[in-house]
Amino acid sequence: MTGQRTKYLTTTRDTLSRVADEAQAKGLAAEDALAALEDRESRRATRPQGRS
Amino acid sequence: MAQRTIADATFALETAAGLSDADRRTAQGEIEEAKRLAATSANELADARVVEVAELRDEALRELCDVRDAYAELINAAEIGRITAAECDRALNDLRARQRTAERTISRTSEALTFVEAVEADPVAYGDAICAKYPLIRPTFSF
């Protein structure tokens, strides 16, 4: 058992950290996407109405 | 009879003068038994921490994968304009909260790892350190 617990916990921590890092990166990209969406909505709102 | 740490008992035996061989053997046997019990206790605590992490692992991993994938879907929805900025903002906040919750399992795993590494490095020393902290659970020696 000695050593196996450390190995298991290390693998578990590294696996969770890797996916958390992937999620973190996607989260940052999602923030960029939100900023772009807000920008589009803002420009649309200030665009003169009644023109095609 | 005295309640001592294993370190104290070992020191006491090493510095005791005038002990017969039989008494010394008896005392040494008590120390060995105390070491066995300390290692057993420390290993049981380490096993319990591993079980605790194992119970959290699958759910945390699933949640982090779900959050990661949901971020990707959110990006897509935002880029094609399928949702409003307000909806996107709400969804983003929800995902961030879920991510923070799941990431607590990483902290708990790291804490468990530090603990288990200490136990595995020297289970007797770890068990004895606990006894040093809590006098009432120190082993009893005849000397």
pLDDT tens per residue, range B91-141: 999 999 999 999 999 999 999 999 999 999 999 999 999 999 999 999 999
From B98, B124, B121, select the one nearest B39 (Cα to Cα).
B124
For the stretch B4-21, pLDDT in tens is 999 999 999 999 988 999
Residue A2 in contact with partner chain B when CB distance is under 8 A: yes
B-contacting residues in A 8-27 (Cβ below 8 Å): 8-10, 12-13, 15-17, 19-20, 22-24, 26-27
How many C-beta atoms lie closer than 10 Å to residue B75's C-beta?
22
ipTM: 0.85
From A11, A9, A3, select the one nearest B119 (Cα to Cα).
A3
Q: pTM to 2 decimals?
A: 0.80
